[in-house]
Amino acid sequence: MSAITTKAIRSWHAALSKEHPSTGAKAYRLLATILRTAVEDRYLLVSPCRLKGAGQEKASERPVASVAEVQALADAMPERLRLAVLLAAWCQLRRGELLGLRRRDVDLQRGTVSVRLTRTTTGSGTIEKAPKTDAGKRTLAVPPNVLAVLEHHLNSYVGAEPDSPLLVGEKGGAVIPGVLHAAWHKARTTVQRPDLRLHDLRHAGLTWSAAAGATIAELMHWAGHASPAAALRYQHATIDRDRALADALAGSAPRT
């Protein structure tokens, strides 16, 4: 353990962060935690993790789709998967949350959709589990423009059983993530937005919500965030937009 020096950590972190900045920050934080424990247990006198800012993630600004672009993307999807685009943007759902939705999670009378389960696929198979945090388990109001599509989708594609998957493939079973990705890739190419990821629709929806005046607490609820840190990003975006509008308005004021 004494062979782990600050110089060695600096070189390792620099090489990893050059290609994968977020992974580099996460890995450094984990190593720092391990070495702090080693100090507490007296295996080391001091921790060699002393790189200022190495554990801080600086996520790049993601692109934001407009309302018109989201509709165009939905229209470019196969009809049975169109709902995925609309729920991702207007209800700010993650891909795993979309794939985990079942008939029982939709309440047309109240106009809501509930996130109770996520579904992901790994090399070892499909994993279904509850959201990581209590904040991730949430019930969301579906906007009227999406509710009509949701009702049509339920009547046209979803099985009658409560546990029937909401997003289905051509044979009626739960859609495979690879099929959803292929349809999404074709749709974003069609509308000439190849830079957009499916997750960016969630980012767009939260940005729209912040611009409409949503509070931090409301953004946290819609996004399923356990802390306000992530939600604050959308408030900052709104503040920046307010400044741009204020500057534009000032340009039209009479000069004194």
Catalytic residue numbers read 94, 199, 202, 225, 234
C-alpha 232/C-alpha 219 separation (Å) is: 9
Q: Are 114 and 227 in contact, with CB atoms under 8 Å apart? A: no
Number of H helices, E strands in the chain: 10, 5
Residue type, 103: R
C-alpha 209/C-alpha 95 separation (Å) is: 19
C-alpha 229/C-alpha 16 separation (Å) is: 25
Going through 123-253 in order, the beta strands assigned E by DSSP cover: 125-129, 138-141
Q: Which residues contact 36 (CB under 8 A, 6 or more apart)?
A: 47, 49
